[in-house]
Structure 1
Amino acid sequence: MDGILTGSDRTYYVEEYLLEPTTCNCLGQSLREARLRSQTGVLVLAIRRRDGTLIAGPTAETILEAGDLLICMGTAEQLRSLNQLLSPLRPDRLRPPGNCDSKPKSQLTTATEWSNGKVNWPNSPR
């Protein structure tokens, strides 16, 4: 899901972020505790749970769970900050370059696989 909203001085985008158990440090925290908005400026519009339940307009007390798909709105810079916060680059997980089949999958591919029910938990491929 990609969307664009333009205002008088800024462009806002809507993006999805998958909370992966192997990379996300916010799991088990409420939105308030995770401080996603105060750290990045991004607004979490909705959360789709692994079981398909949609939480529209989650409250500050909504707990973040592995496999949640966050639907967020922000500027390009804010969304980049959120991506770094939710999936920080971990040097211990980097792989040397090779052919395309051996490269880690992108977060977007993982989110697409998640929505199609093709992710194996808890060790989903990256």
Structure 2
Amino acid sequence: MSSVRSVAALEAGAFAGQHHVVVAFCADWCGTCRDFRPVLERLSAAHEQLGFLWVDIEDDAAVAGDIEVESFPSLLILREGRPVYFGTSLPLEEVVDRLIRSALSSPVPLSPAPEEVWSFGALLVDPAPTTGAV
């Protein structure tokens, strides 16, 4: 059974080689974001071939980097590390499910994404090597 992973999974390279990843940029103080988490958990269970990542823009600020989240929750859908959707989404399971399916099957991105989002997608599928003793 798949689940929504936290940013700690990034250090282990959990998304390396993952073809499709859905990222939720949220904040703990946001009630709509808290409602969004169980929706993503159910979608994760229904779409085991997809990776799901939860990024708290305050607690995980180092990972979120310069990505500007204007409304919460914001959803990023990546195909082969490339953004095909970046925008706000309400916690409506059927709507989010259709959005994911549409974004991943569309021959072109459903929405433009800023450079910071492109960099984030590349990080997920091709993480930088960790430093440490060899």
Superposition TM-score, scaled by structure 1 size: 0.28
Q: Please identify which structure carries the higher helix content.
A: 2
TM-score by structure 2 length? 0.27
